Amino acid sequence: MKLFIFVVLLAHYCLANNSNSAGVAHNGEFYEYDTTRNGWYIGSPTSPIMVNLRQHRYHGIPDRYYDFANRTFARQPSGVCTKEIPTTSLLEPGQSIPRGNGSNPTLSRIQVCCQGYQRDAHIVRKCNPICQTECINGICYSPNECICFPDHVKNLAGFCVPTCPIGCDNGDCRENTCVCKPGFALDKTGKFCAPVCNPPCGKGNCTAPNTCSCNRGYELKENGACVPKCTDGCDYGECVAPEKCACRPGYILQNSICSPVCEKGCINGICTAPNQCSCREGSTVDRTGTKCDPKCDHPCINGQCIRRNECECNRGYMPDPNEPSRCNPHCPEPCVNGVCSSPGLCLCNVGFVKDRSVKGSQICIPLVSYL
């Protein structure tokens, strides 16, 4: 009877200090507090907590559990914070406004539950920590922080699991020593068995033998290991961290893509590989390999090939109306009795010479005129 009274007292104490407590086990039964009926009742025998307790069959609660609870709750943070609010929000309409005790006369300090805490359902001035995941076999000590009961330890997933002599997660207790099942091995504490993955998961957790659960930003490869993930891929490079690509030599990162680099340039072309300039259709790379020139099927005489089979005449030349690839010299004045041999220069026909009476004249006159 004394033991049962202690169980109930400890259960009430857990409720007052931890709204997320797992409850109390006694003689193989699991007790939970029902707020609608304001009392302790035997919990569901099919609940995960109950199944866990039935596996280990607590036959009593040692004194060290009571001491553990006392020590834990004694040093537990209060979870109470101070907040300043307008004093008028605390008064009824028509009341006179007193001087507040805040940082200025219009403000007053009130006590509220700190972030991560919630007000106790039974003790108005008490704030309990909130643990999003229920603290099975432990006490919710502070927001999302569970402290395990004696003879329990946190496994790799952060849950409190029993240790020898009362139990061994993924193993069996033999002479107070944990012997692991196949596919499991003792963790570094030697108190529970953790799954083994070969090869190691790397940036992930081994959740079952040879089964990895990768961290955010990582993905599982065929060999079973977790490697960084780059959404845009990492062609010509290596994904060294989530969304971070390290390019191979000869490539540079541009817009999250490894692009080849042509160190000497690739004018009017596309750098398709390190120091390899590729030209578009209708052009060809020059002898330096750094520039793409337009390609004309016939050489441009006295001109430059500017586009596919299109010539642009040099200065002082005009396109030949009958031969598009040829540019003829242009003379502003007609070359009478001669031909335009270069821009602004006439070459006289046989039997004709330049008129020397006029300086710079390009007029051809009969040779007999000088005889």
- Mean pLDDT over 207-230 rounds to 88
Instruction: Indicate if the pLDDT at residue 121 is higher than 90.
Output: no
> Is 61 part of any domain?
yes
- Say what the pLDDT of residue 62 is: 60
> Is 359 part of any domain?
yes
Instruction: Please state whether the peptide bond connecting residue 260 to the residue before it is cis, i.e. omega within 30 degrees of 0.
Output: no
Model confidence band, residue 282 (pLDDT cutoffs 50, 70, 90) = confident
Q: Looking at per-residue confidence, does 38 or 98 come out higher?
A: 98
> Is 76 part of any domain?
yes
Question: Residue 25 and residue 325: Cα distance in Å, rounded?
Answer: 100
Considering the domain architecture, whether residues 189 and 109 belong to the same structural domain is answered as no
Question: Residue 129 and residue 131: Cα distance in Å, rounded?
Answer: 7
Considering the domain architecture, whether residues 306 and 356 belong to the same structural domain is answered as no
Instruction: Indicate if the pLDDT at residue 23 is higher than 50.
Output: no
Considering the domain architecture, whether residues 139 and 222 belong to the same structural domain is answered as no
> Is 33 part of any domain?
yes
Considering the domain architecture, whether residues 7 and 52 belong to the same structural domain is answered as yes
Q: Residue 237: which of 267, 261, 220 has the closest Cα?
A: 261
Structural domains in the chain (count): 4
Considering the domain architecture, whether residues 287 and 321 belong to the same structural domain is answered as yes
> Is 356 part of any domain?
yes
Lowest mean pLDDT among 7-11, 192-196, 253-257, 312-316: 7-11
> Is 239 part of any domain?
no
Considering the domain architecture, whether residues 79 and 204 belong to the same structural domain is answered as no
Considering the domain architecture, whether residues 65 and 131 belong to the same structural domain is answered as yes
Task: Choose the most confident range, by mean pLDDT, from 32-41, 51-60, 342-351.
Answer: 342-351
Considering the domain architecture, whether residues 69 and 196 belong to the same structural domain is answered as no
Question: Residue 98 and residue 57: Cα distance in Å, rounded?
Answer: 61
Q: Looking at per-residue confidence, does 226 or 61 come out higher?
A: 226
Mean pLDDT (the chain) is 79
Lowest mean pLDDT among 26-35, 57-66, 77-86: 26-35
Model confidence band, residue 57 (pLDDT cutoffs 50, 70, 90) = very low
Q: Which tokens go with 200?
A: 């190691």
> Is 255 part of any domain?
no
Considering the domain architecture, whether residues 23 and 146 belong to the same structural domain is answered as yes
Instruction: Please state whether the peptide bond connecting residue 249 to the residue before it is cis, i.e. omega within 30 degrees of 0.
Output: no
Model confidence band, residue 370 (pLDDT cutoffs 50, 70, 90) = low
Residues spanned by the domain of 365: 338-370
Helix intervals (H) in the chain: 2-17, 48-56, 63-74
Q: What percent of the chain has pLDDT over 90?
A: 26
Considering the domain architecture, whether residues 23 and 72 belong to the same structural domain is answered as yes
Model confidence band, residue 40 (pLDDT cutoffs 50, 70, 90) = very low
Considering the domain architecture, whether residues 38 and 80 belong to the same structural domain is answered as yes
- Say what the pLDDT of residue 371 is: 55
- Answer whether 0.85 is exceeded by the pTM: no
- Mean pLDDT over 206-214 rounds to 89
